[in-house]
Amino acid sequence: MKFKEKISLEKVFEKDYKIKLVESENNKEAIITHFLHNSKNGISQFFKKDAIEYSKEILQYKYPQEEITNVVAEEALQYGIFKTFEIPFPPAENPKFTFIDLFAGIGGFRLALQNLGGKCVFTSEWDKEAKRTYKANFGERPFGDITKEETKKYIPDNFDLLCAGFPCQAFSIAGKRGGFEDTRGTLFFDVAEIIKRKQPKALFLENVKGLRSHDKGKTLETILNVLRNDLGYFIPEPQIVNAKNFGVPQNRERIYIVGFHKSLGIDTFNYPKPLDVQVTFADVKEENVPPTKYYLSTQYVQTLVNHKARHASKGNGFGYNIVADEEIAGAIVCGGMGRERNLVLDFRITDYTPTTHIKGTVNREGIRKMTPREWARLQGYPDNFMIPVADASAYKQFGNSVAVPAIQATAVEILNTLEIR
């Protein structure tokens, strides 16, 4: 069968096709895009069978009068039947190492490691809007729920590095030891299970600073016990790394856990030293911000001030600060007060524009909320990183992301330790 035209994956999975190829719990688009990105290496074998099956399904819809066999579908894949779209961050042509990206979010780990010559061979993320952003930038749709065996089965063998920014959860420890089985039912258990099955050379895990004190320290103690004693990895003492020390004006502290397979004989590791650079918000400040979209009315500013005062009197924190050009921002976060918190109540900047009219009032203080692009810059994302989602989702995604420069600096030390250059 001769194919006269290529088929747009965008139309197949998002627009024209009425057959429900993409539903919340299937991985069809993830399988096809992962296959396409690995069609020239042995990793494609982990996706090939199902990629052929789903390609056959698409071709049958596109060419209802033709007989589409598995052979025809495979030939179509080899021919390059699917028209992909241009992406700002394509995979490395000749990678120096391979990695997988778990709890991927919008791809902060992936961006950092691709910058260093790495090839991502599997990625998973459950959030639908984050998947949109990830796909727009890297051309792959992440697999879904990593707790499900039907997702885990697609993880390739023999990758070098496992990356995971997994959520922090308490364990119901049945015994005194706090080992592998005691973590069952948590997302860390799924990370540990993948490590146990796949035995990567190295691990790079990221979590909130509060992991150290979570459940009176039992959570971190159990994690380290599983990694060191149950799984046999060399795990140096985890370190709190602050993004402000690596070129972004954000005071963002996160705990990093690094590990190396016992077969490598590695027994030392040095986390990256802070860079000798000073950056402020002025370095990431966006110019020509739309006044009617981001500036706050005088009335709204007063409401924030009053609300913060009420919380302070009760001994509660309230999530916003005013950040001047010469300062650095606090950690950008999401949550706590729902959508409004994501949009408005985290951090402001000072920008005096007395003529700005909003909702019939003049904002004499000239205070505005940060833009999504400024949040992206605070996390070290380059300006060609695409933001295809609405502002509410963008704030959430960047607030939940890793700080790319800090991740990259640590990854450099991991690769040096592995002697990958």
User: Distance between CA atoms of 59 and 218, rounded to whole angstroms?
Assistant: 53
168 is catalytic: yes
Q: Is residue 394 part of a domain?
A: no
Q: Pick left, alpha or beta for residue 222 (phi over 0 → left; psi -120 to 50 → alpha; otherwise beta).
A: alpha
Residue 354 is predicted with a pLDDT of 35
Domain that holds residue 68: 7-83
User: Distance between CA atoms of 334 and 356, rounded to whole angstroms?
Assistant: 28
Q: Are residues 109 and 56 in the same domain?
A: no
Its pTM stands at 0.88
Q: Are residues 231 and 125 in the same domain?
A: yes
Q: Which of 120, 163, 168, 334 is catalytic?
A: 168
Task: Provide the domain count of the chain.
Answer: 3
Report, as an integer, the average pLDDT of 293-313.
Answer: 78
Report, as an integer, the average pLDDT of 183-187.
Answer: 82
Q: Is residue 385 part of a domain?
A: no
Higher pLDDT, 149 or 364: 149
Q: Is residue 148 part of a domain?
A: yes
Residue 394 has pLDDT above 50, yes or no: yes
Residue 25 is predicted with a pLDDT of 55
Given a contact cutoff of 8 angstroms between Cβ atoms, the answer to whether 228 and 192 are in contact is no
Q: Are residues 67 and 204 in the same domain?
A: no
Q: Are residues 261 and 408 in the same domain?
A: yes
The 10s digit of each residue's pLDDT in 243-270 is 999 999 999 999 999 999 999 999 999 9
Residue 17 is predicted with a pLDDT of 54
Name the most confidently modeled range: 168-177, 181-190, 364-373, 378-387: 378-387
Residue 3 is predicted with a pLDDT of 67
Three-state DSSP state, 241: strand
Query: Residue 401: is it exposed, middle or buried by C-beta count within 10 angstroms (0-12/13-18/19+)?
Result: buried
Q: Which of 14-28, 140-154, 175-189 has the lowest mean pLDDT?
A: 14-28
Q: Are residues 24 and 119 in the same domain?
A: no
Tokens 């496992």 belong to: 162
Q: Are residues 260 and 230 in the same domain?
A: yes
Q: Are residues 214 and 191 in the same domain?
A: yes
Q: Are residues 203 and 77 in the same domain?
A: no
Q: Are residues 129 and 237 in the same domain?
A: yes
Q: Are residues 78 and 182 in the same domain?
A: no
User: Distance between CA atoms of 376 and 373, rounded to whole angstroms?
Assistant: 5
For residue 278, the surrounding DSSP H or E stretch is: none
Three-state DSSP state, 245: helix
Q: Is residue 346 part of a domain?
A: yes
Per-residue pLDDT band for 295 (boundaries 50, 70, 90) equals: confident
Q: Is residue 383 part of a domain?
A: no
The DSSP bridge pattern shows strands 253-261 and 202-208 to be antiparallel
Residue 417 has pLDDT above 70, yes or no: yes
Residue 363 has pLDDT above 60, yes or no: no
User: Distance between CA atoms of 140 and 101, rounded to whole angstroms?
Assistant: 12
Q: Is residue 90 part of a domain?
A: no
Q: Is residue 330 part of a domain?
A: yes
Residues 6 or more apart whose Cβ sits within 8 Å of residue 96:
116, 117, 118, 415, 420, 421
Q: Is residue 395 part of a domain?
A: no
Chain centre to alpha carbon of residue 124: 9
Boundary-marking domain end, from 40, 56, 83 = 83
Q: Which of 128-142, 286-300, 330-344, 405-419 has the lowest mean pLDDT?
A: 330-344
CA torsion 141-410-399-160 (nearest 10°) is: 20
The 10s digit of each residue's pLDDT in 92-136 is 889 999 999 999 999 999 999 999 999 999 999 999 999 999 999
User: Distance between CA atoms of 420 and 210, rounded to whole angstroms?
Assistant: 32
Q: Are residues 346 and 244 in the same domain?
A: no
- 263: domain CATH number is 3.40.50.150
Residue 63 is predicted with a pLDDT of 86
Chain centre to alpha carbon of residue 126: 11
Residue 184 is predicted with a pLDDT of 79
Higher pLDDT, 152 or 347: 152
Q: Are residues 211 and 105 in the same domain?
A: yes
Given a contact cutoff of 8 angstroms between Cβ atoms, the answer to whether 284 and 374 are in contact is yes
C-alpha torsion sign, points 321, 325, 327, 333:
positive
> How wide is the angle at C-alpha 176 spanned by C-alphas 170 and 178, nearest 5°?
40
Residue 250 is predicted with a pLDDT of 93
Tokens 């459950």 belong to: 126
Residue 76 is predicted with a pLDDT of 87
Boundary-marking domain end, from 41, 60, 83 = 83
- Give percent above pLDDT 90 in the chain: 57
Q: Which of 123-127, 215-219, 402-406, 413-417 has the lowest mean pLDDT?
A: 215-219
Query: Residue 292: is it exposed, middle or buried by C-beta count within 10 angstroms (0-12/13-18/19+)?
Result: exposed
